[in-house]
Amino acid sequence: MSNNKNMRETRYSPGINSIKEFAEADERLAALDPEKYLKLPYPYDDWVDPPIKELTDEQKNRLEHSLDGLSAVSIPKPETSKDKEELVAKFLAGLKKLFSKENNWTFVQPFTLSMENCMKCQTCSDECPIYISSGKEEIYRPMFRGEILRRIIDKYLKPGGKFFQKLTGSEFELNWETVARLAELSYRCTLCRRCAQACPIGIDNALITREIRVLFSEELGIAPAELHSAGTVKQLKTGSSTGTNPTAMRDIVEFIEEDLKDLYDVDIKLPVDKEGAEILLLHNFGEYLSWPENIMAFAIIFEKAGINWTLSSEMGAYDSVNYGLFYDDVQFARVALDHVAKAKKLGVKKLVVSECGHAHKSLIPIADRILVDDNIIFRESVFPLLEEIVFNGKIKFNPKKNDFPVTLHDPCNIVRAMGIVEPQRRILRKLCPQFIEMEPHGVNNYCCGGGSGFAIFQGKNFPEWRNKISFRMKFKQTLEAFKDNIDPSIKKYVCAPCSNCKGAFRDGLTYYNAFEKCGIIYGGLVELIVNAMEDMEKPFIQWELK
Amino acid sequence: MMIILYLFAYFSILTFCGLVIKRILKYKNMPVHLRWELYPVAHEPFRNKYGGSYYEEVEWWNKKNKKDHLAEFWVMFEEIFLLKGVYVHNKKLWLFSFPFHLGLYLISATAIIITCSAVLDLSSIISILNAQNIFGKIILYLTKVTAYSGLALTFIGGIGLLIKRLSEKKYKFYNTPLDIINLLFILILTISISATLIFSNSSFTLSEEFVKNLFSFNFAAISNKLFIIHIVLISIFLLYFPLTKMMHLFAKYFTYHNVRWEDEPNYKGGKLERRIKEALNFDIGWSAPHVRTGKTWAEAATTLPPEMKNVE
Ligand code: SF4
Ligand code: SF4
């Protein structure tokens, strides 16, 4: 896959030369030339990515793809001029609603502040992993989306006429291409908010991006299938975005119990719907299907620590996923309310969110402003609890069992957006003698590249873009953290305590062949905790890239 | 004719104040929003050093969570007066942006001193700038330092920013005529203020006199033409400022206090809960079919369209 020089013959479009071209250009607006991508360190210093594969002719004919050759949102090309006009008119109507306190009370204040006060100082640009990894594609600059939106607003929503438009540079025509490109562009940002953190004024380009997504979803009914029809809709309907129903959930739990016995000689019954339990532990259901060892590790820890806990098989209470966070406030509220209703039904004292970043942020701080009256239930992160368990002496640990290089990935939603920084580190410092920090880390971390839903986007050529561009910075950081032990004979572990981040690592490490080339695998935090338990006879961590 | 100059000055000052207050009230009176803080949150005691929050504690709701207001003040001070964020993330820009902003603060400080001096003198409390004693001389001297250094810094910084805007691709790409006009206007102002100071207003006498006249509604004649031009330019600038992005000066308070650092938890029966309930009762007008299930926001959120109803 690497070093495919023949592929260099592919011709790349020149990219965008002026902001007006966003509306007017016939050609693709991003060059996406692999030669320009962010360079990776040894042993990837001579790695050349093949170009991102083109959509099929059928897809090209059917779907809007003129932004950068990708189609994350799958917007069909309008057939008649009436369809085109309608798209533009609806977009403008939605844009107005974003500024209305009734429709958009959820974010109107931060959104308005961000839209009205950007000084175009470009301080945010170099903080964006996507912009940098792509070789500084202009359209991926963090403030680019906001700037397009501002010019549309100046021209179409503000009084002032032609003279004012000249002054504000907003003379370009709003056509359906602009609208469709903007929709696509709102899915080239992981909402990691690293740019917002750097902005001296406090402008949040991630929020602007998110609000563009909200506009498209709540006004035009346009959203990627992975988030909407196969995401929140499926979750509300079946209880999980994976489509798993309660009966199947209970079956999976049984399989996991069997595996625990077969693989690790651990005889544990996972509590499901236990009455009188203190804690309802809420997993991302992806863990049950893709990383059952994470579910097992939690069970081992909680049982050994004597925690009074339960899982729920109640529809909606066994999957912590809430993709509404990424694109639609109403869908977000529906899923969050469902989670809370089910937790209340079980009568637990508190709801604890396990290793899933966006579920943390959804259920703990964000849902905090949706819940009123009896819906205000106690919700917390699992990391402080894990820290307490690791340090309270009830379980004996032998850190020598974890004597291999370990680095930590900080999920943006847990760390930058919630300030849960140290509990997971204190655990790693205690249990992993070769723990190495990535640089930068903590609240300054880089996103895994799978944020805002990207980890589950598996359609068309999007996964390629994710692996090559949005995961790239994280991969570079990982290689740098392990640079002194990069030989594949030394097994190394990236602790990524978040389901979506693990999804991004799985696909990214596989694309870069990182296990064979460097001996790198990834996994959660609880796996390391269990692996270090004195009384676990068999090693818990399996050295393979799953 | 003179009265027109005075009326124009009144008009511009009042418009400036009115528009600034209007903008501040607009931001302040917006409804509660979903939490969207960004760590480090400056008022988080101790944990602010690394960006931690009260969520790092088991059962955080049982712990007393005090706020470190001093730390918050200090971060704000560093941000406003030292432009720390720009320094950390964009040093090349800071080289010009910092003197530019510092210069503007010093010029504003000079204007405030002149105004205070005029008011105190007018109310016969004390003379400051034109006092003949040693105290007056020191103040006058310091005010001159403030004014000249402010003008020099703004000018140097402004020229640097202008050159950057016009020459570097990352700025040029996004420039609008208004961005350039903003900088040019400030540069012209620094020249006009400097010229007045050098040629006719070296002890701020004309300025102080003019402010006194404004306060006492005394439309006395001004003979100095340079000073008249200077008043006209400042008045136009006061009218222009609130219409531009330069208002970020005030917006920054809200982006930090109401968004980045806004980590107030919602407790049953609290003030915040009341505000949330109010917002939940707003009418919702989005058009996508999946959202149109209720009249109010709360109704839409609690009423599922048929395709989302549980199938169990
Ligand atoms: S978002 Fe902030 S950092 Fe980025 S260009 Fe605008 S003002 Fe500068
Ligand atoms: S949120 Fe992250 S990915 Fe999006 S523009 Fe900002 S830095 Fe880039």
Residue range A356-383, pLDDT digits in tens: 999 999 999 999 999 999 999 999 999 9
Give me the pLDDT at residue B136, please: 80
Ranges of H-type helices in A362-471: 382-391, 422-431, 462-465
Q: Do B33 and A350 touch (CB under 8 A)?
A: no
Please tell me the distance from the alpha carbon of residue A230 to that of residue A362, in angstroms, as a whole number: 18
Q: Which residues of B touch A203 (CB under 8 A)?
A: 255
CA-nearest of A121, A187, A411, A430 to B170 is: A121
A7 lines ligand 1 (CB under 6 A): no
Q: Which of A19, A113, A114, A121 to mutate to test the pocket of ligand 1 (most atoms within 8 A of CB)?
A: A121
Q: Find the closest chain A residue to B251 by CA distance.
A: A113
On the question of pLDDT at B19 being above 80, the answer is yes
* Ligand 2 atom with least separation from CA of A206: 1
Give me the pLDDT at residue A12, please: 55
User: Identity (one letter) of the amino acid at A22?
Assistant: F
Q: Do A416 and B36 touch (CB under 8 A)?
A: no
Q: Which residues of B touch A200 (CB under 8 A)?
A: 79, 83-86, 89
Q: Do the beta carbons of residue A181 and residue A67 sit within 8 Å?
A: yes
Please tell me the distance from the alpha carbon of residue B260 to that of residue B27, in angstroms, as a whole number: 15
- Classified as helix, coil or strand, A279 is strand
**A274, exposed or middle or buried, with CB in 10 Å at 0-12, 13-18, 19+?**
middle
Cα A57 to the center of its chain, rounded Å: 30
Q: Is A13 on the interface with B (CB under 8 A)?
A: no
Give me the pLDDT at residue A546, please: 80
Number of CB pairs < 8 Å for A and B? 290
Give me the pLDDT at residue A26, please: 80
Q: Which residues of B touch A237 (CB under 8 A)?
A: 307-311
- Please report, rounded to a whole number, the percentage of residues in chain A having pLDDT higher than 70: 97
Q: Is A261 on the interface with B (CB under 8 A)?
A: no
* B268 closest CB neighbour out of A198, A221, A376: A376
Mean pLDDT on A284-304:
97
Q: How far is B174 from chain A (nearest CA, A)?
A: 7
**A302, exposed or middle or buried, with CB in 10 Å at 0-12, 13-18, 19+?**
buried
Give me the pLDDT at residue A10, please: 45
Q: Do B44 and A114 touch (CB under 8 A)?
A: no
Q: Is B175 on the interface with A (CB under 8 A)?
A: yes
* A417 closest CB neighbour out of B38, B254, B283: B38
Q: Do the beta carbons of residue A89 and residue A95 sit within 8 Å?
A: no
**Ligand 2 midpoint to CA B192 (Å):** 42
Q: How far is B16 from chain A (nearest CA, A)?
A: 18
On the question of pLDDT at A200 being above 90, the answer is yes
A145-170 CB burial, b ≥16 within 10 A, e <16: bbbbbbbbbbbeeeeeeeeebebbbb
Q: Which residues of B touch A232 (CB under 8 A)?
A: 308
On the question of pLDDT at A2 being above 60, the answer is no
Q: Is B62 on the interface with A (CB under 8 A)?
A: no
Give me the pLDDT at residue B312, please: 57
Q: Do B51 and A365 touch (CB under 8 A)?
A: no
Mean pLDDT on B35-61:
97
Mean pLDDT on B244-259:
95
- Please report, rounded to a whole number, the percentage of residues in chain A having pLDDT higher than 90: 88
- Classified as helix, coil or strand, A74 is coil
Q: Is B251 on the interface with A (CB under 8 A)?
A: yes
A199 lines ligand 1 (CB under 6 A): yes
Ranges of H-type helices in A291-406: 292-304, 324-327, 329-346, 357-361, 382-391
Q: What is the pLDDT of residues B258-301, one digit of tens each?
A: 999 999 999 999 999 999 999 999 999 999 999 999 999 999 99
Q: Please, which residues 444-503 of chain A have a Cβ atom closer than 8 Å to chain B?
A: none
On the question of pLDDT at A7 being above 80, the answer is no
Q: What is the pLDDT of residues B197-226, one digit of tens each?
A: 999 888 888 999 999 999 999 999 999 999
pLDDT bucket at A9, cuts 50 / 70 / 90: very low
Give me the pLDDT at residue B137, please: 85
Contact residues for A322 (Cβ-Cβ < 8 A; gap 6+): A232, A235, A332, A335, A336, A339, A358, A359, A362, A363
> What's the residue count for chain A?
546
**Ligand 2 midpoint to CA A135 (Å):** 15
Give me the pLDDT at residue A473, please: 98
Please tell me the distance from the alpha carbon of residue B163 to that of residue A457, in angstroms, as a whole number: 43
* Domains of chain B with CATH codes: 90-255 (1.20.950), 283-312 (no CATH)
H/E run at residue A408: strand A406-408
Please tell me the distance from the alpha carbon of residue A478 to that of residue A494, in angstroms, as a whole number: 8
Q: Find the closest chain B residue to A143 by CA distance.
A: B174
pLDDT bucket at B130, cuts 50 / 70 / 90: low
Give me the pLDDT at residue B131, please: 66
Q: How far is B235 from chain A (nearest CA, A)?
A: 21
Q: What is the pLDDT of residues A441-476, one digit of tens each?
A: 999 999 999 999 999 999 899 999 999 999 999 999
Q: Which residues sit opposite A379 in a β-bridge?
A: A351
Residue scoring higher pLDDT (B307 or B310): B307
Q: Is B33 on the interface with A (CB under 8 A)?
A: yes
Please tell me the distance from the alpha carbon of residue B17 to that of residue B35, in angstroms, as a whole number: 31
Q: Rounded to whole angstroms, what are the CA distances from A178 to A23, A25, A182, A217?
A: 5, 10, 6, 17
| DSSP structure string for A453-518 | GGGG--STTHHHHIIIIITHHHHHHHHHHTGGG-STTS-EEEE--SHHHHHHHHHHHHHTTHHHHH
Give me the pLDDT at residue A162, please: 76
* B251 closest CB neighbour out of A116, A364, A442: A116
Residue scoring higher pLDDT (A400 or A169): A400
Q: What is the pLDDT of residues A510-536, one digit of tens each?
A: 999 999 999 999 999 999 999 999 999
* B284 closest CB neighbour out of A103, A169, A423: A103
On the question of pLDDT at A1 being above 60, the answer is no
Q: Do the beta carbons of residue A188 and residue A206 sit within 8 Å?
A: no
Ligand nearest to the CA of A451: 2
On the question of pLDDT at A170 being above 70, the answer is yes
A320 lines ligand 2 (CB under 6 A): no
Give me the pLDDT at residue A323, please: 98
- Classified as helix, coil or strand, B24 is helix
Q: How far is B55 from chain A (nearest CA, A)?
A: 6
On the question of pLDDT at A234 being above 80, the answer is yes
